[in-house]
Amino acid sequence: MLYHAYEFTHAALSPMRQAARLSRDMLMSPLNPFAATYGARAASAAFELFINATRRYGKPEFGIDSTEVGGIPVPVVEEVVAEKPFCRLMHFRRDSAAVAARRDPPVLIVAPMSGHFATLLRGTVRAMLPAHEVYITDWADARDVPLMEGRFDLDDYIDYVTEFSRLLATRAGERVAVMAVCQPGVPVLAASALMAADGDPLRPASITLMGSPIDTARNPKQPNTLASERPLSWFENNVIVSVPWPHKGFLRRVYPGFLQLSGFMSMNLDRHVDAHLRHFRNLIRGDGDSAAAHRAFYDEYLAVMDLTEEFYLQTIDRVFQRRLLAVGGFMYRDRRLVEPAAITDIALMTVEGEKDDITGLGQTEAAHELTPNLPAGLKRHFVARGVGHYGVFNGSRWREEIQPRIAEFIRDHRVPLPG
């Protein structure tokens, strides 16, 4: 009933949204002689806030159509190189023969499946493009995946990472560098450990874990506490619902994106309220640049996706509550123990933000203790001072301090395929 109530509320508000749009457009019309008055601007701003607060935010576009390589503009073409029921593997191909001849290192960016779309990493991709062949996991919204496509759980996530790593290694002729942003750190480390134990020649050359919850017992933050203070049955009974008709995923059991968003918002509610008050004042003043920046941020932030029941509950259970990878008890498909100690030649870099309020300082660094057989020369750790969670992979500190270190690390540990 929760999802149905959400859909009903959205539909019920639709006439009011349309009326608000019409009123806003009339107030701001150049034909309105009172458009420049304070009252008209204030009313128009209020209508826009109502529209934005009640509308549904669709999946954003990456919108990356160019980059610079060696100071020269190069067009970028988005192409899908592999497609599975729950994910598309996207390549941001730099459309230049000269750039292709450079044979820059291939990088697989594994986007988090934690409520937001992969487009949240647009800034991550932009910064990597000048010197890398960039690929990203574009996860599907579970409410749009028909029930006939089957389940998707944490083990399937590991399989996707493994399959994509193999595909890109074969495609590039060298072992791929894998970047895990936040939540994917656990499945990426697990996939790498399994491939290392198998002696898979297509295993990653390096993995970079960024703000990842490898051991959530270290410096726990609010999300860690929320995930561990209730039994798993509470989450199953209170936040898992069936997708309603007419969505393609009708009857699929999911953790809805709008619930995840409410959690994100409540963590920093005062900050969001202040941002919207500033936006209201900027609209009245006619500060177009500030208003546009606000819209761009919230168009991305408020666009959320549903997660499958099995993936969400397994993540709560195995990553946050029982910490199975950290304590040496993580089983792949209930039949094979995942042993990070098997990693001996996959270079490992961990990146943390000093002020990360989602993944506490030390949680990602824990990966180094789990890989005791990896030589010290293949390990690197970096703490970005004064940086929060999103600053680890977006913004000026990411571009100026973090990304150059990752790029250097990736280039230092390239491994061509034998033969």
What's the confidence (pLDDT) of residue 258?
72
pLDDT band at 156 (very low <50, low <70, confident <90, very high): very high
State the pTM of this model.
0.87
Cβ 257 vs Cβ 244: under 8 Å? no
- Whether residue 265 is predicted with pLDDT greater than 60 in this model: the reply is no
Query: If you average pLDDT over residues 246-271, what whole number do you get?
Result: 75
Res 166 pLDDT > 80 = yes
pLDDT level of residue 297 (50, 70, 90 thresholds): low
In percent, the amount of the chain with pLDDT more than 70 equals 83
What are the pLDDT digits (tens) for 1-42?
667 566 656 566 677 777 767 777 777 778 878 777 877 777
3-state secondary structure the chain: CHHHHHHHHHHHCHHHHHHHHHHHHHHHCCCCCCCCCHHHHHHHHHHHHHHHHHCCCCCCCCCCCEEEECCEEEEEEEEEEEEECCEEEEEEEECCHHHHHCCCCEEEEECCCCCECHHHHHHHHHHHHHHCEEEEEEECCHHHCCHHHCCCCHHHHHHHHHHHHHHHHHHHCEECEEEEECCCHHHHHHHHHHHHHCCCCCCCCEEEEECCCCCCCCCCCHHHHHHHCCCHHHHHHHCCEECCCCCCCCCCEEECHHHHHHHHHHHCHHHHHHHHHHHHHHHHHCCHHHHHHHHHHHHHHCCECCEEHHHHHHHHHHHHHCCHHHHCCCEECCCEECCHHHCCCCEEEEEEECCCCCCCCCCCCHHHHCCCCCCHHHEEEEEECCCCCHHHCCCHHHHHHHHHHHHHHHHHCCEECCC
pLDDT tens sequence across 119-152: 989 999 999 999 999 999 999 999 999 999 999 9
pLDDT at residue 221 above 60? yes
Map tokens 């270079």 to a residue: 347
List, for residues 90-126, the tens digit of each pLDDT value.
999 999 998 989 999 999 999 998 878 899 899 999 9
Average pLDDT over every residue of 293-311 = 76
- CATH number assigned to the domain covering 66-229+307-416: 3.40.50.1820
pLDDT at 376 over 60: yes
Q: What is the mean pLDDT of residues 44-62?
A: 69
Chain mean pLDDT for the chain: 87
